[in-house]
A = this chain, B = another copy of it.
């Protein structure tokens, strides 16, 4: 299995898309806000978008090269690139049956694929008659019918109802592991990215802001976007050097917080909900950050409760929430350690 290489520079409406990626036998997730250029990256790899400048190659096979050393630009049409692309809304052919959809790219493996994706019974149905999860399976089967060397998935889970998503995600994860193809997956959900991908690339305004394993992103978000994307509270404020080597941040929301990360000027203070403890009184533990506020919402999620206190959300166990007898409107103290915070550019 060969490594996919991608480099491109392409002006879009509001900014230039400038991306370099290398994807081996792994799944790379691209995450980022709407309009960041995620789909454009996939379209460039598939040959549906021809960038102003760029190079796309699979191992030694060059698919696109706008400035090759040997004279003429190379740009293979989509049908000559060995890619399977699953579109954002699946783009199933509405006038063809499931069978014909899957067989469009190659008849040989249709029966096997229908079997594999448990859609044999739907062979004669039209896409309009399928549920979201079924459609996704048809789209996957169709993309795999050509035996692609690269798999591209554009928000494969976003068209699904919330309650079917968990199972479909699990199935998809198994499939990706089995295929062992260089895979690029676009998503706007961090949990999806973490569940399905080996590495996650965060793309904003056409640039890759951070690229790494999901745990690395969680541990050290490179920007406010990455922090809030991974679920952190993001408190904007103004930083200056404080005592004890700590950075002192005057929060926009009022109050001061301390962080072990260095920083000055406008920053975002990121802290994950599970790092925030709640108490009635200012506790006498090692936490140096204490925010006073009233509880504005309490969301019980099984064994955990998410509690919103002023500008921060804390996640505490149901047990401790009960012990504190938390109720909306009551004043509490949210505490977190300076070591649990990160300062990120906004």
On A, residues with C-beta under 8 Å from B are 33-34, 132, 161-164, 166-167, 170, 173-174, 177, 188-191, 194-196, 214-215, 218, 225, 228-229, 231, 272-275, 296-297, 299-304, 306, 308, 313, 328
Contacts and interface: CB of A to CB of B under 8 A. Distances in A.
Given A33-B161, A161-B33, A328-B177, A170 B300 contact: no
Nearest to A187: B162
Contact of A299 (B167, B174, B195, B231): B195
Contact of A163 (B196, B228, B300, B304): B228
Work out how many copies of this chain go into the complex: 2
Contacts of A296: 170, 173-174, 177
Contacts of A273: 302
A273 B303 CA distance: 10
Contacts of A328: 177
A296 B225 CA distance: 29
Contact of A301 (B162, B229, B231, B313): B231
A296 to B, nearest CB: 5
A240 to B, nearest CB: 25
A196 B308 CA distance: 12
Contacts of A163: 33, 225, 228-229
A297 to B, nearest CB: 5
